[in-house]
Amino acid sequence: MSNAHARKHEDVMPARPAALRDTDPLATPEALEAARQFVRAHRWWQTAVFAIGLLTLVIVFSVLFLGVDNGPRDVRTSGPLAPVDSSQFAQDVASLVNAPIEHGGTVQIIDNGDAFVPALLRDIGSARRTINFLVYIWEDGTFSNQVIDALIERQQHGVAVRVLLDGLGGRKAPDDRFEMLRRAGGRVERYRTPRFGTVTRFHRRNHRRSIVVDGEVGYVGGMAISDKWLGHAQDPDHWRDMMFRVTGPLARSLQTAFVGSWVSTSGEILVGPSIYASTAPAAPGVDRFIQHVNSPADDDQSMAYFYLMPILAARKTIYLATPYFIPDEPLRKALEKKAREGVDVRLLLPGRHIDNKWVRYSGQNHYDELMQAGVRIYEYQPTFIHSKFAVFDGKWSIIGSPNLNSRSRQLDEENAFGIFDLTLGRQLEQTFFHDLGQSEEIQLDAWRKRNPFRRLLQEAATLLDEQS
């Protein structure tokens, strides 16, 4: 375009309204002159690259930090909730999260690695048809070697082995050992690895736990594959955690948490009786259960409501154990409301051995208002407690992969069971109070006298709530 033509083009451009020129900082003469000088000093392609880079930074920042918490600040029900042991309550939850009410199957609580590792290896060793294995963290070490050796042995005997590693949580997985599994015929895939076109989704991880053998036996809970899950929580290097061994309809349902992620990564749709074991509808076991498998979006925070519903419905007790506690406003208000109504509300949280101190600081920033309402808060002392479960009125329990934080509510792929079963509820309450015996209860008066610098850290940590 010639200079004369450019001037003619400028002459016919409509003038910007005075009000806009006065209020828009980008419209000031100084800003416009600086932009012209930048353009004159650089080649056109340099200016284009700079503009594209700046736009990309703005978009990435917006995706990661600004557009996450779109949920309502106040969540309430249209009428009184039925008690957690009623069929109506189960129907309300199932309808809310769009999941079926199922029946039957057994649940066994497994404490720490000393119990989990032998049980897992025994079930892998007995596999006849399929092993589908999904956990968030996979790190090289003794535990990893034992599991991969067992998987290779089964693959060599004709069992179809599939392992799904998260692109972030599995970054320390031993590639050479998994290559041995591949050479034996096993399938190993990585979920959402960083590559061109996926950068803005990389922060949304697959945090699910779904280990299923022959469609008949499964494991769900907090543990994954790393040597920190070995032992019996005997020191700060070995975590306190729980897994749940499920059978029958529970295991068949758990399989769905694997198959959806598997097809989106591998392109293979898993079908047939080797994946979904045939189980009689009247199988004995738990009274009723709902498995919620979520892929959260900005306007879909159903995992948050999966926990919120039994809190709002509880009449007597609410016991929550979680390694990462960052409550949103509806969760915090619900806990405070129930405590003020006389419900025994207790939280079991990590102490100083937590692996992410900023998460702990952020959660602690809510301690004062929770305790003032009557919520009792305990911090586990011997090591990092990574247990994830909840029990309401001793009757309705939640077990699975989610934490009570922003990532599990709004970002990560998760799966959890809501189960009505009196035996499981009683056992979880016993486990909860056993761990309280090794915890320190936070007292409100002493808490308000804490170090001012610590208060500052807790306030600062809340800036990262949406990504923690």
Residue range 201-234, pLDDT digits in tens: 656 789 999 999 999 999 999 999 999 999 999 9
Q: Are residues 335 and 431 in the same domain?
A: yes
**12 is a domain residue:** no
Three-state secondary-structure class, residue 409 = helix
State the chain's mean pLDDT as an integer. Answer: 88
Could you tell me whether strands 317-321 and 288-294 are parallel, antiparallel, or unpaired per DSSP bridges?
A: unpaired
Residue 23: the pLDDT is: 40
Neighbours of 425 (CB within 10 A): 22
**177 is a domain residue:** yes
3-state helix, strand, coil in the chain (%, to 5): 45, 20, 35
The last residue of a domain, from among 252, 285, 318: 285
Residue 101: the pLDDT is: 97
Identify the DSSP state of 466.
G
Quote the number of domains for the chain. Answer: 3
The last residue of a domain, from among 228, 254, 285: 285
Residue 16: the pLDDT is: 40
Q: Are residues 207 and 334 in the same domain?
A: no
Question: What is the spatial distance between Cα 337 and Cα 63, in angstroms, rounded to a whole number?
Answer: 33
Distance of CA 71 to the CA centre of its chain: 17
The last residue of a domain, from among 232, 266, 285: 285
Ordered DSSP codes for 122-172: HHHHT-SSEEEEE-S-B-SSHHHHHHHHHHHHHHHTT-EEEEEEETTTTTT
Residue range 48-59, pLDDT digits in tens: 787 787 777 766
Q: Are residues 299 and 426 in the same domain?
A: yes
Q: What are phi and psi of 294, to 5 degrees?
A: -120, 150
Q: Are 122 and 353 in contact (CB under 8 A)?
A: no
Q: Are residues 137 and 204 in the same domain?
A: yes
Question: What is the spatial distance between Cα 107 and Cα 427, in angstroms, rounded to a whole number?
Answer: 11
Q: Are 421 and 382 in contact (CB under 8 A)?
A: no
Q: Are residues 164 and 252 in the same domain?
A: yes
Q: Are residues 83 and 165 in the same domain?
A: no
Q: Are residues 414 and 458 in the same domain?
A: yes
| Residue 165 structural domain | 104-285
Q: Both ends of the chain: CA-CA distance in Å?
A: 52
Nearest to 208 by CA among 99, 302, 135: 135
Q: Are residues 236 and 269 in the same domain?
A: yes
Q: Are residues 295 and 410 in the same domain?
A: yes
Residue range 406-417, pLDDT digits in tens: 888 888 999 999
Q: What letter represents residue 367's amino acid?
A: Y
Q: Are residues 318 and 412 in the same domain?
A: yes
Q: Which pTM does this prediction carry?
A: 0.84
**306 is a domain residue:** yes
We report the CATH number of the domain holding residue 235 as 3.30.870.10
**8 is a domain residue:** no
Q: Are 112 and 241 in contact (CB under 8 A)?
A: yes
**117 is a domain residue:** yes
Residue range 64-88, pLDDT digits in tens: 544 455 667 788 899 999 999 999 9
Q: Are residues 403 and 348 in the same domain?
A: yes
Question: What is the spatial distance between Cα 43 and Cα 124, in angstroms, rounded to a whole number?
Answer: 62
Question: What is the spatial distance between Cα 241 and Cα 355, in angstroms, rounded to a whole number?
Answer: 14
Q: Are residues 116 and 248 in the same domain?
A: yes
**151 is a domain residue:** yes
Three-state secondary-structure class, residue 431 = helix
Residue range 9-33, pLDDT digits in tens: 444 333 443 333 344 444 456 666 7
Q: What is the mean pLDDT of residues 378-388?
A: 98
